Structure 1
């Protein structure tokens, strides 16, 4: 579950159904306003929603979908309603994207492909939110989490 920066909306990844639920949040109550399929038409056994992260500017939501899809799905976020609009589905170029992270500059996304033992680094366009070419693949034993440490 991820809340918007203003605390008015939230997004929830539903692993088994590979969906994202969108909520309004007010006075301690979540009210569902949208349900988005990450892999419509695929058998339930072939999909599994995983991580979700918003861009630092709050304009885009990124969600990983494992199973046979093995994709990152990019959504634009309506700032007034929190509603999602799909912009892109991009292969993670590996198997089982357990987690991913947007780097602090916002120019790259690092994807932890747990079953293919790699971290894939992909370009990100900050204006459009879209993911571009792969710039590097790093071998790593079963990566499952990514964190950036910022020195102060």
Structure 2
């Protein structure tokens, strides 16, 4: 059985190092993409405070299709041309938004979400998915969160078998 340990007294960058070690251990003996995506989403929700949604959208053509997540019912398809997730997919860059209500084409799946962090999952030069985290707290994510969660996403991606399609 896996037990998440979280030392609240650590500096944030050290906390992310600790979380990355724990994530590596959690995913160590599993290569299945869906299983690991579900575990990763739950891991993030359990490990980090002030979140109300964490999960994946998988790239399919020019849109994103909902994958494993933890949170309220979500949008099922997002075109690359819309929203924060679409911008991450379109530009292949992390999108960190302090206040989603200031984004003109933000797609509000949960009205309680105020901040968002979306990280593209790129494997062998190809977009495979985006990992999306929402918070009810404005300004929830800073550069340390971004760097830490980007590393966690790389650990997740490296732990998965990506050779088959969903």
Structure scoring higher RCO (CA < 8 A, sep ≥ 6) equals 2
State TM-score, norm by structure 2.
0.28
Structure showing the higher helix proportion among its residues: 2
State TM-score, norm by structure 1.
0.29
Structure showing the higher strand proportion among its residues: 1
